[in-house]
Amino acid sequence: MTSSHIRPRLVELTSPRDVTGVSVRTSNAREGDPATAALPALWGRFMAAGGLPTTVFSVYTDYESDVHGAYTVVLGREAGPSTSGERTVRVVPGRYAVFTSTGDMPAAVIAGWQAVWAYFAEPDAPARAYTTDFEQYEPEDPSTVHIHVAVRAEASRERPVRA
């Protein structure tokens, strides 16, 4: 399945979720160049500190502007006590378009984000909110990523599923 054929389902996140973990400030332009990409090193730090014993979240927040601007990524677990160097971020309630991508990692994540960008480039797509987006990884299914992209409530026509 090519990334452009991954279609989202719309869900309503009814309560906030706090995620604590390691973080980095980056941009899509930076991540597009292996010489400057920050996310592989972030994953390396996270895995060295204990890896995937539970559900893992990679939260995208503090958007400078849109897909072209800088953002912060917090890679971790649902909030617990933070340790030195960790940050806690709140995933805001609201509507999310959820894209599911399966395969070898990180290729499945890359394919999933390519599907996100293709979907939101369509003229009838809802508008992204650029509040908090997140990837969700389950330890029992390590070859699947669920990418949740916040959409503006007034711009989404479909009725969401409550999550």
Q: What is the CATH number of the domain that holds 62?
A: 3.20.80.10
User: Which pLDDT value is given to residue 116?
Assistant: 95
* Strand ranges (E), 14-113: 17-27, 56-61, 70-78, 87-91, 94-102
As a whole number of angstroms, the distance between CA 23 and CA 118 comes to 26
Which residues fall within 8 angstroms of residue 81, CB to CB, at 6 or more apart? 20
Structural tokens at position 16? 């906030």
Say if residue 8's pLDDT is above 80.
yes
**Partners of 89 in beta bridges:** 19
Domain count, the chain: 1
Question: Count of CB atoms within 10 A of residue 20's CB?
Answer: 19
As a whole number of angstroms, the distance between CA 10 and CA 158 comes to 7
What pLDDT digit, counting tens, does each position of 122-141 carry?
A: 988 999 999 999 999 988 89
Structural tokens at position 87? 């940050």
Report helix, strand or coil for 60: strand
Taking the model in full, what pTM does it have?
A: 0.87
pLDDT band at 82 (very low <50, low <70, confident <90, very high): low
Q: Which domain holds residue 123?
A: 3-162
